[in-house]
Amino acid sequence: MEDFGYTPACRCPAARPAPPRPPNGDRALINVLLADDQALVRTGFGMIVGAQPDMAVAGEAADGQEAVRLSGALRPDVVLMDVHMPGMDGVAATERIVTEHPEVRVLALSTFDLDEYVVAMLRAGASGFLPKDISPEELVEGVRIVHRGESAVAPRLLTRLIGTFVRAARPRATPRDGLLGTLTEREREVLTLIGSGRSNTEIAADLRLSPSTVKNHVTSLFAKVGVRDRAQAVIVAYETGLVRPAGA
C-alpha cells in the first residue's frame, strides 16, 4: 500500500493551475482540483489522477483560500482537500466551496484520521474522508464515488466513529430534529436503513421496493433534512436517535 502521509518540512511554491489536457473523445473527464499545502503530495496525487483515462487535474491550491478561489474559477468536479493547511484550513474551505458551488464535491484527505477531523469535514459538507495511506487505486475509486454523488468514507473510520462518538453520546436535540417530522413514514424507514449501512439495492430488497423508488425516497429525504450525501445522512440518523449502536 502506498503511503502518501509523508509531508516533508518545506515551504511549498505557490499554487498553479494545471495545463489543459486534450479532449478524451466523447467521454467527459472528471476534473479534479488538488488542495494541499505540501507540493510533494500535490505532485503525487496529480500523477495518480492524471494517469486515469477518465480524469484530469484541473489545478492545484496550496491553502484553503486558494482552493475556494480556484473552485469558483475552474469549477472542478471534485476537490481533493487536505484538512490541515495554513491560513484557511480544509474544514472552512470545504464549507465555503459547497455553499458557493454546491455542484462541486469535496473528498477530504488527511494524514491524521482522528475522529473529530472526520466529523468536522463531513459536517462541513465533504462527500468523503480518506486517510493518506490509501493505495492509488483506492484514491481514484474514491474520486469516482463522490463524483457519482455518493459518499466515500474509509470503512475503518466509519466503524470507529460509530464505536466512539455515537456509543459515548446519547441522542441529543439538533437543528434537524424538527425536520424529521417532515419525513413520510417510508422516508424515515429509508433513512434508518441508510444509517445502518444499507445500500440502495439492499434497501430496495428489505422494503420490497424498486431501486428507482428507493432512489426517489433518498433524494426527497436528503432535501428535507438538508444533507448532500449518505455520509451526512448517517450522522443525522445517529444524532437524532433513528439508529442506535448495538448494545446502546
Domain ranges of the chain: 30-161, 172-239
Ranges of H-type helices in 58-199 = 64-74, 90-100, 115-124, 136-147, 155-161, 167-168, 177-180, 185-195
How many other β-carbons are positioned within 10 Å of the β-carbon of residue 75? 13
Residue 132: helix, strand or coil by DSSP?
coil
Candidate from 2-16, 41-55, 214-228 with smallest mean pLDDT: 2-16
Cell output for 133: 495511506
| 30-161 CATH fold | Rossmann fold (3.40.50)
Candidate from 54-58, 108-112, 187-191, 237-241 with smallest mean pLDDT: 237-241
What are the tens digits of pLDDT across the range 184-222?
A: 999 999 999 988 777 788 899 999 999 999 999 999 999
Q: 45, 80 in Cβ contact below 8 A?
A: yes
Strand pairing category for 105-110 and 152-153:
unpaired
More confident position, 20 or 206: 206
Identical fold between 30-161 and 172-239: no
Q: Which of 181, 81, 86, 62 is nearest to 125 (CA)?
A: 81
| 172-239 CATH fold | Arc Repressor Mutant, subunit A (1.10.10)
- Maximum separation of any 2 CA atoms in the chain, in Å: 57
Helix (H) or strand (E) holding 46: helix 39-50
Q: What single-letter DSSP state applies at residue 102?
A: T
Per-residue pLDDT at 159: 58
Average pLDDT of the segment spanning 68-96: 96
Mean of per-residue pLDDT scores for the chain: 81
Average pLDDT of the segment spanning 175-189: 82
Percent residues over pLDDT 70 in the chain: 77
168-204 burial string, b = 16+ CB within 10 Å, else e?
A: eeeeeeeebeeebeebeeebbbbbebbbeebebeebb
Q: Which of 21-25, 30-34, 194-198 is the most confident on average? A: 30-34
Per-residue pLDDT at 20: 46
